[in-house]
Amino acid sequence: MSATAPPVPRLHIVTGKGGTGKTTVAAALALALAGPGRRVLLAEVEGRQGIAPLFDAAPLPYAERHLAAGLDGGEVFGQAVDADEALLDYLDMFYKLGSAGRALRKFGAIDFATTIAPGLRDILLTGKIKEAVSRTEAGRMAYDAVVLDAPPTGRVVKFLNVTVESGRLAKTGPIGKHSRSVARLLHSSLTAVHLVTTPAAMPVQETLDAHRDLLAADLPVGHVVLNKVAGTKTVDVTAEQLREGLRRTGLPSDDGLVDALLDEYAASRVETEAVDAYRDRLERLGRPIDELALLPEGVDLSGLYQLARALRTSLGETRRAAAEPEGDDHGE
């Protein structure tokens, strides 16, 4: 490790409660990190194929594949990591299995091993991610950053806490060594776990809980992303003003419409005030908060780039610092 500033995170782990848009945020973050000349890997591990539709792309394979152009000329690669494939890879690496590996799979042994030892599955998945983070090609890092669309907040600490979860597995031998090196990366400042939430009670509560659990497990928390924020100006408007304004612009100005518009406006002001309250609660965590606007039309490809630009602005500092590759070996 260099003795100067702490290294900028190169592994970005994105988690959040179901429905908060963590996959969308992970994808936007990958685009944002892929500045000029940079290569970013965007990976998912739950077999959901949630990334491909966001990019209007075919389902992602196990092998890394070019996915999209990043902001300002970088490149984003995509990958769907699968535990069974990762175990075969792993066996092949350490035991030179060749075709015997395929026979094992046919026999159901691969499935069996990852089923009787759920901790093994997580080690294989995080191990594959770690490999991508630390891989070098032609004297430089293969990826400037890796973004992981991780399991939701309820499961993420268990997923990342590989050394604890592997307690039942062999402590000596390659898997023990492997899990320790994965754990070193995940607990280092090269990693940042970002928490995605929407401005609503349960997602915010889960974010606070996850933050506490991550700290307790000594895992590095990065940013909090407050997603789907509906913006409203908070100025007072009266029925008379509204009626007059509608009339002046040639719109219908009957009482029904005026009342309905007032109701909508009042409701969305309540919502905005609620957002402020949630933001206050999240700010007490002391983490940077990135805010992403709710896109009225839903998130299509252009919306995704719009979110990426918003994230890049708030990640500005990180991004500039990361443009100078660190010379350390992160734990190997």
Partner 1 sequence: MASDLELDTLLSDEGKRVIACCGSGGVGKTTTAAALALRAAERHGRRTVVLTIDPAHRLAQSLGMEALDNTPRPVDGLEGGSLDAMMLDMKRTFDDVVASHTTPDRAAEIFANPFYQAVSSTFSGTQEYMAMEKLGQLRASGRWDLIVLDTPPSRSALDFLDAPARLARFLDGRIIRLLSASTPGSRRSMLSLMGASAAVFTRVFNKILGGHLLTDVAEFTASLEDTFGGFRKRAEATFRALQGDQTSFLVVATPEPAAINEAVYFSRRLTEERMPLDGMILNRLTPVGASLPAERALGAAAALEEDDPDSPVAAALRTHADLARRRASEQRVAARYGAACPDIPQAWLPTLGAEVVDLEGLRDFGATAAGAAAAA
- Per CB under 8 A, 174 contacts partner 1: yes
3-state secondary structure 203-269: HHHHHHHHHHHHHHCCCCEEEEEEEEECCCCCCCCCHHHHHHHHHHCCCCCCHHHHHHHHHHHHHHH
Candidate list 6, 36, 37, 173; residue touching partner 1; CB under 8 A: 173
Q: Residue 52, interface with partner 1 (CB under 8 A)?
A: no
> For residues 319 and 312, is the Cβ–Cβ distance under 8 A?
yes
Q: Return the residues of window 56-85 that contact partner 1 according to CB under 8 A.
A: none
Report which of 23, 103, 93, 105 is spatially closest to residue 304, judged by C-alpha positions: 23
Q: How far is CA 218 from the centre of its chain?
A: 19
Element (H, E) at 59: none
**Given the rule CB under 8 A, which of 33-41, 107-115, 131-139, 140-148 is the region that contacts partner 1?**
107-115
CA distances from 77 to 60, 69, 255 (A): 10, 9, 55
Least Å distance, CB 91 to partner 1, is: 6
State the nearest-atom distance from the C-beta of 289 to partner 1, in Å: 21
Asked if 303 touches partner 1 (CB under 8 A), the answer is: no
Distance from the first to the final alpha carbon of the chain: 11
Q: How far is the CB of 306 from partner 1 (least distance, A)?
A: 15
Site size toward partner 1, by CB under 8 A: 68
Separation in Å, CA 58 to CA 49, 52, 54, 150, 308: 9, 6, 10, 20, 21
Q: Does 313 sit near partner 1 (CB under 8 A)?
A: no
Q: Which is nearer to partner 1, 252 or 286 (CB)?
A: 252
| 331 DSSP 8-state letter | T
**Binder among 58, 241, 273, 317 for partner 1 (CB under 8 A):** 241
Shortest reach from residue 95's CB to partner 1, in Å: 6
**Complete DSSP assignment for 95-111:** H--THHHHHHHHHTHHH
Residue 212 is a binding residue for partner 1 (CB under 8 A): no
Q: Report 242-261 residues binding partner 1 (CB under 8 A).
A: 242, 244-246, 248-252, 257, 260-261
CA nearest to 12, candidates 20, 3, 34: 34
Task: Supply φ then ψ for residue 204, to 5 degrees.
Answer: -65, -45
**Residue 201 within binding range of partner 1, rule CB under 8 A:** yes
The two three-digit tokens of residue 103, written as one number: 């026979």
- Decide whether 139 or 298 has the Cβ nearer to partner 1: 298
- What CA–CA distance (Å, rounded) separates 197 from 263? 27
118 binds partner 1 (CB under 8 A): yes
Asked if residue 217 binds partner 1 (CB under 8 A), the reply is no
Q: How far is the CB of 173 from partner 1 (least distance, A)?
A: 5
The Cβ-side half-sphere exposure at 263, using a 13 Å CA radius, reads 6
Piece of 1-9, 16-24, 187-195, 320-328 that binds partner 1 (CB under 8 A): 16-24
Residue whose CB is less far from partner 1, 154 or 288: 154
Closest CB 158 distance from partner 1, rounded Å: 8
- The contact set with partner 1 (CB under 8 A) reads 17-20, 46-48, 50, 53, 91, 95, 97, 100, 103-104, 107-109, 112-113, 115-118, 120, 152, 154, 168-171, 173-175, 200-202, 206, 230, 232-233, 235-237, 241-242, 244-246, 248-252, 257, 260-265, 267-268, 270, 294, 296-298
